[in-house]
Amino acid sequence: MKTQALARFRDKLARNDSVHGLWVTLESATITEMAVALGLDWVVIDAEHGHLDWKEINEHIRAGLRSDTVVLVRLAERSTTLTKRALDIGADGVVIPWVETAEQIEETLRDCHYPPEGRRGIGGERATVWGQCFAEHAAEANGHVMVVPVIESVSATPHISEMCKVDGIDVFFFGPADFSSTAGFRGQWEGPGVAEQILEMKETITTSGKHCGLITTSIKDLQQRHDQGFRMLGLGADTGLLLRSMHQSLQAVNSDRMPATSLDSADGKVVREPLPQPPKYMQPDRDEVITNLGDGPTIEIQSGVDFTALAGEFNTSRNLTTGIATLQPGAFLDCHTHPCSEAITVLEGEVEFIVEGRVYHLKPLDNIVIPRWLPHATRNPDLENIARLHNAFGMSSPTRELITQDFTPVQMPDDSDGVSGYERVTRFQTAKRTFGVGPGAEFIDFFNDELVPGIEMSGGFGRFQPGGRLPSHLHDFDESICIIDGAASCLVEGRPYSLANCTTAMIPRGRVHYFVNESEATMDMIWVYAGPMPERIVIEESYVDSSSKSGSQSHE
């Protein structure tokens, strides 16, 4: 146990300074050595998730010896046996998962303290210098050992005040992903309402004189969490930081991609070189459907607001609905929620979106993404002109539920990009462009699982210069491509189509296709995938040529 490092850690918190650290999940103790060399205040060795065994945990603890870096071990569960073992081999403290009550904290403290205060046995390991310093270690350990409970369940919420009253705890850690899961938003980092709940608990904890911590997801998030008052700030996990750096480098050379989530054989799911033909596992069971604006079903959502479907259950689309909403001058769409995420791109006019009272003013080609069950409303503030929107839902047949709760209006800044964990706003004029996906084409990612964790779909904007095109490819999910400006030629396994004026191609899973701009003007599209990441499998052009059929179908 490094008493000086622990004292330094606590002194910084007492001054309301941040303590920065790293979450360690990989085997190499060099990772902890690097954290120590950079002067990080703490590392947590994760023995709950992942594959670290006790030999590897021991090596990480050894790498942190004789330094100012506090080394903690996150245990797999509240356990007297596991706690003894981590502390005996020299950990400066333990991180305890899934703590929900004051009684559980008291039990954990007993595991960490020698009698008579606790029930920790004295072992002849590193902590006592292999038995040479029994008396010295026993005299100082109870007063220095660090115990960090993790709040990661909604069941803990009503007990936070009582938990704060337990002596011996300096800092509480939050697990947003598990907390979201217990709140009904499995797979989201901070589902609707979760960020607000965590901030409320943080206020209760800091008011009691204790501190809060969590893992941050980016540099921007690190800065935001500091401003919110979190003080034990994780820069990230070793794997996450490595992947983040690799993605940034690959993006710089237009070679970034996302891996497949399945642990099955890749069999073409993630490839770099074009395949000679589609993978056998991805045989399509439906044909493509080309839908002109007005050919799909139109419904009046409420007075002054119509929705015309372009893809959905009516044309065999799975897990995806897209269409055009028209708001008459001054029209207002009442506050409501959906059981799926919704993405809205302004095509014409300027529109106000109100999300739990937060008012965003969006202009043409701006986009807003609303996660499932998040209350929102829409207004066309123009009393003379209509507004048109491209809407996408992560369901084949979406429903809505009206909300009567009143929210206090808060006008959001014109450059606001939304609220982390809630809605996401992309401003077209300042959005990041991606090039290199295809010659003469540029793209903006509006939403995907990286930008909006837990979302069911992905999508964005594409602009094709004259002659611009994509390679022949297919997807492991359905997609909707709406041509919002100019004209596009689309070839689906040799079947050619011409699209313009919001005509939409619904391309089912497994169909090989590509888009090309054969006109002399630019062409713009809104694309939406029924999958959380924009993954594609490129197919050799020879396959498309061999299946090509004569004749062209116009849908202008």
Residue 184 pLDDT: 86
Beta-sheet pairing, 19-24 with 42-46: parallel
**Inter-helix orientation angle 3-14/134-144, to 10°:** 20
**Residues contacting 344, CB < 8 A, separation 6+:** 325, 353, 367, 368, 369, 370, 378, 389, 390, 391, 392
Which of the pair, 541 or 152, is modelled with greater confidence?
152
Element (H, E) at 221: helix 219-228
Q: How large is the average pLDDT for residues 416-436? A: 91
pLDDT, position 278: 86
Of 264-278, 330-344, 468-482, 493-507, the one with minimum mean pLDDT is 264-278
| Cα 52 from Cα 24, distance rounded (Å) | 10
39 pLDDT band (50/70/90 cuts)? very high
> What is the structure's pLDDT at 254?
56
Higher local confidence (pLDDT), 186 or 491: 491
C-alpha–C-alpha distance, residues 458 and 66, integer Å = 48
Say what the pLDDT of residue 266 is: 45
Name the residue with higher pLDDT: 184 or 309.
Answer: 309
pLDDT > 90: percent of the chain: 79
Q: Is the dihedral of CA 208, 211, 217, 221 positive or negative?
A: positive
Per DSSP, the residues of 488-521 read: EEEEETTEEEEEETT-EEEE-TT--EEEE--SSS
* Amino acid residing at 40: L
Phi, psi at residue 425, to the nearest 5°?
-120, 130
Reported as a single tens digit per residue, the pLDDT across 358-405 is 999 999 999 999 999 999 999 999 999 999 999 999 999 999 999 999
The confidence score (pLDDT) of residue 462 equals 95
What is the structure's pLDDT at 554?
Answer: 47
Give whichever of 218-222, 280-284, 346-350 has the largest mean pLDDT. Answer: 346-350
* pLDDT reading at 500 higher than 80: yes
158-169 burial by CB neighbour count: b if 16+ within 10 A, else e? ebbeebbebebb
Q: Please determine, for residue 270, whether its predicted confidence score (pLDDT) is greater than 70.
A: no
From 57-61, 431-435, 527-531, the region with the lowest mean pLDDT: 431-435
Query: Would you state the pLDDT for residue 274?
Result: 77
With a cut of 60, say whether residue 555 has pLDDT above it: no
What pLDDT sits at residue 547?
59
Q: What are the structure tokens assigned to 346, written together?
A: 């302004």
Angstrom distance (rounded) from CA 18 to CA 226: 8
Q: Give 116-150 as a DSSP string.
A: TT--PPP-SSGGGTTTTTHHHHHHHHHHH-EEEEE
Element spanning 469, H or E: none
Q: Which two tokens stand for residue 23?
A: 């979450």
pTM: 0.56
Report the chain's mean pLDDT, rounded to a whole number.
91
Helix (H, G, I), strand (E, B) or coil at 526: strand
Q: Where are the beta strands (DSSP E) in 261-396?
A: 289-291, 298-302, 305-311, 321-327, 332-337, 342-348, 351-355, 358-362, 367-370, 376-379, 387-393
Over residues 108-131, the pLDDT tens digits come to 999 999 999 999 998 889 999 998
Task: Look at the block and give the residue holding tokens 């992905």.
Answer: 458
Instruction: Name the band, by pLDDT with cuts 50, 70 and 90, for residue 543.
Output: confident
| pLDDT of 258 higher than 90 | no
> What are the structural domains of the chain?
3-248 (3.20.20.60), 281-555 (2.60.120.10)
pLDDT score at 177: 92
